[in-house]
């Protein structure tokens, strides 16, 4: 029972990190040269998930901007809003699933305690 609670809590922590990183990416979508980050969920023993954050150094699209001395080439952010929206939905569903696991474990513990009385 404790292992289940530990796994669900680590899942909540991991999906919270995913939501945090995605929100940071979206907040910087209009920042020239910004490089997005990704979260990879890695399983750990004896059970649980560890979020590993890594930066995506791929180039963003480039545009010509007028500076005082003529046009210059500027690299935009490499954040794709559609991709980030899908990641947010995935993290939300993972968060909800882990909350359901915690609620079920809580109900089971309550039932066990009621039986023991």
Per domain, the residue ranges of the chain are 2-106
Q: Which two tokens stand for residue 41?
A: 């969920």
Residue 29 clears pLDDT 60, i.e. is over it: yes
- 22 pLDDT band (50/70/90 cuts)? very high
Q: What is the mean pLDDT of residues 32-53?
A: 91
88 near 75, Cβ under 8 Å?
no
Q: What is the mean pLDDT of residues 13-27?
A: 95
73 near 64, Cβ under 8 Å?
yes
The angle subtended at Cα 45 by Cα 42 and Cα 49, nearest 5°, is 35
**Residue given tokens 């609620």 in the structure block:** 103
């Amino acid at each position: 029972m404790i292992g289940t609670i530990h796994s669900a809590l680590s899942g909540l922590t991991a999906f919270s990190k995913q939501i945090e990183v995605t929100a940071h990416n979206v907040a910087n979508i209009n920042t020239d040269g910004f490089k997005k980050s990704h979260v990879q969920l890695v399983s750990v023993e004896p059970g649980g998930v560890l979020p590993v954050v890594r930066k995506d150094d791929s180039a963003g699209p480039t545009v010509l901007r007028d500076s005082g001395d003529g046009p210059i080439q500027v690299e935009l952010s490499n954040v794709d809003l559609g991709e980030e929206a899908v990641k947010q939905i995935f993290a939300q569903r993972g968060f909800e699933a882990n909350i359901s696991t915690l609620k079920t474990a809580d109900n089971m513990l309550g039932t066990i305690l009621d039986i023991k009385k």
